[in-house]
């Protein structure tokens, strides 16, 4: 194990854009890196170690102390450890199953087409603002039952949690708590309306659902809604940003998708592996333990670096080659173990439809000259993704 004094928030933009060499360097330093005070956090980056952590929730808990994002109770199902966790997934999995997601594919396609058609004649656009941010927000707000006309307000609230734009930890806590209260208020408003007059949306479904013969309480629905608000709004946005930025800079790879759109699903999996838009997730140890011979005390926050695991040369053949023909691609961009992403089918559908429609209308494009792409930390959105064609 190695001690490293690092502070968050001052990572070089080049490393944020191309994190893979930094991951390799960290893996070479030690299997577990102790960041020391003030965070006391430990980083784990080897593929086998990351998978071990994700598959042992009894030691590496994702309980409420692992991460604070403005919540006042555990987020459901992410901050509920097994075995209780299973009850919530039993309820939620069917709602997000592929056949349910297929029902909204046509509507999603029409939405993307409208977004791309609105800019195609201009010869340039900011992809983040035009597609990557509005698409998942609109799809998800419709599903959840939140008013789509208030999308920009919700996106600002989500950004207030994920990118609070403050520097010190105390400022961050205060900002995130205040935004969290606003998110609870918005969700509570809709829950109160649906208790009186249910509609055909997820919030109404949750209110009527039962887990082992027990109805979810309105607080349970609030705690599910709060997590969905963050998980559903930002992850697909970050993934679309990363993928279009990659394809804009690799015209040969892009041309393969134009020539044969049936390659898009495999390309999405490979770009999810390579870019790992969700770079890492956190756990907290329930007891003293060890990993790869490195001692980890109880109550330690452990950050598992998904992006590093997905490019670990000990697991992956030619990890640095972005190979759309990779035959076996068991990446963990959607996490692993009990908490593996609930929204993966929805995310994959949105990504596929967006890439198909965008490339049908805008097959050739590049990044506006002189733009240095700025990737955000943690969830890799690229807000200044200026494209020209």
Residues within the interface to ligand HEM (CB under 6 A)? 62, 77-78, 89, 227-228, 231-232, 235-236, 239, 277-278, 281, 306, 333-335, 339, 341-343, 346-347
**Least Å distance between CB 140 and ligand HEM?**
7
**Least Å distance between CB 167 and ligand HEM?**
25
Nearest to 340 by CA among 122, 85, 116: 85
**Least Å distance between CB 194 and ligand HEM?**
18
Nearest to 49 by CA among 277, 305, 286: 305
Mention every residue, 6+ apart, whose C-beta is less than 8 A from residue 113.
357, 361
**Least Å distance between CB 306 and ligand HEM?**
6
Nearest to 366 by CA among 131, 130, 125, 128: 125
**Least Å distance between CB 13 and ligand HEM?**
22
Nearest to 367 by CA among 233, 254, 239, 236: 254
Of residues 230 and 296, the one with the C-beta less far from ligand HEM: 230
Residue nearest to ligand HEM (CB): 343
Of residues 62 and 142, the one with the C-beta less far from ligand HEM: 62
Asked if residues 174 and 161 have their Cβ atoms less than 8 Å apart, the reply is no
Instruction: Report the alpha-carbon distance of residue 98 to residue 23 in Å, rounded.
Output: 33
**Least Å distance between CB 111 and ligand HEM?**
15
Determine the Cα angle at 137 with ends 187 and 189, to 5°: 15
Angstrom distances, CA of residue 251 to CA of 93, 237, 245, 363: 38, 22, 11, 10
Of residues 73 and 122, the one with the C-beta less far from ligand HEM: 73
**Least Å distance between CB 266 and ligand HEM?**
15
Beta bridge mates, 154:
none
Tokens of 99: 């056949």
**Least Å distance between CB 225 and ligand HEM?**
11
Of residues 60 and 365, the one with the C-beta less far from ligand HEM: 60
Of residues 244 and 346, the one with the C-beta less far from ligand HEM: 346
Tokens of 253: 């790879």
Nearest to 155 by CA among 173, 132, 174, 177: 132
Of residues 117 and 141, the one with the C-beta less far from ligand HEM: 141
Of residues 98 and 368, the one with the C-beta less far from ligand HEM: 98
**Least Å distance between CB 248 and ligand HEM?**
19
Of residues 58 and 117, the one with the C-beta less far from ligand HEM: 58
Instruction: Report the alpha-carbon distance of residue 50 to residue 54 in Å, rounded.
Output: 6
Nearest to 379 by CA among 240, 177, 172: 240
Of residues 8 and 118, the one with the C-beta less far from ligand HEM: 8
Instruction: Report the alpha-carbon distance of residue 79 to residue 62 in Å, rounded.
Output: 5
Instruction: Report the alpha-carbon distance of residue 209 to residue 202 in Å, rounded.
Output: 10
Of residues 231 and 387, the one with the C-beta less far from ligand HEM: 231
Query: Would you mind telling me the total number of residues written for the chain in this entry?
Result: 389
Phi, psi of 89 (to 5 degrees): -65, -35
Which DSSP letter does residue 368 get? P
**Least Å distance between CB 334 and ligand HEM?**
5
Scan for tokens 């961009």, then name that residue.
333
């Amino acid at each position: 194990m190695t001690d490293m004094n690092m502070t968050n928030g001052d990572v070089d933009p080049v490393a944020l854009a191309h994190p893979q060499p930094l991951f390799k360097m960290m893996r070479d330093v030690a299997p577990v890196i102790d960041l020391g005070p003030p965070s006391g956090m430990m980083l784990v980056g080897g593929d086998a170690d990351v998978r071990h952590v994700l598959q042992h929730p009894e030691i590496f808990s994702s309980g409420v102390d692992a991460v604070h994002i403005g919540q006042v109770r555990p987020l459901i199902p992410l901050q509920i450890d097994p075995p209780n966790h299973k009850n919530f997934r039993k309820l939620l999995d069917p709602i997000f199953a592929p056949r349910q997601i297929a029902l909204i594919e046509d509507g999603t396609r029409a939405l993307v087409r409208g977004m791309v058609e609105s800019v195609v004649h201009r010869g340039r656009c900011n992809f983040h603002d035009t597609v990557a941010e509005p698409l998942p927000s609109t799809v998800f707000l419709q599903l959840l039952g939140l008013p789509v006309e208030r999308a920009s307000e919700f996106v600002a609230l989500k950004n207030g949690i994920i990118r609070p734009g403050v520097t010190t930890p105390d400022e961050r806590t205060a900002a995130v708590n205040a935004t969290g209260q606003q998110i609870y208020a918005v969700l509570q408003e809709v829950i109160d309306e649906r208790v009186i007059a249910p509609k055909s949306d997820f919030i109404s479904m949750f209110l009527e659902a039962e887990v082992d013969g027990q109805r979810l309480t309105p607080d349970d629905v609030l705690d599910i809604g709060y997590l969905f608000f963050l998980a559903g709004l930002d992850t697909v946005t970050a993934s679309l940003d990363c993928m279009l930025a990659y394809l804009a800079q690799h015209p040969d790879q892009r041309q393969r998708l134009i020539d044969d759109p049936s390659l898009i699903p495999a390309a999405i999996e490979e770009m999810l592996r390579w870019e790992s838009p969700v770079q890492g997730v956190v756990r907290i140890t329930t007891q003293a333990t060890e990993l790869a011979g490195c001692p980890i005390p109880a109550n330690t926050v452990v950050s598992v670096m998904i992006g590093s695991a997905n490019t670990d040369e000990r697991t992956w053949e030619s990890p640095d080659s972005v190979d759309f023909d990779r035959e076996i691609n068991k990446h963990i961009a959607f996490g692993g173990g009990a908490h593996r992403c609930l929204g993966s089918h929805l995310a994959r559908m949105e990504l596929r439809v967006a890439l198909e429609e965008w490339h049908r209308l805008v097959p050739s494009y590049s990044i506006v000259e002189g733009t240095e792409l700025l990737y955000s930390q943690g969830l890799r959105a690229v807000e200044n993704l200026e494209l020209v064609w």
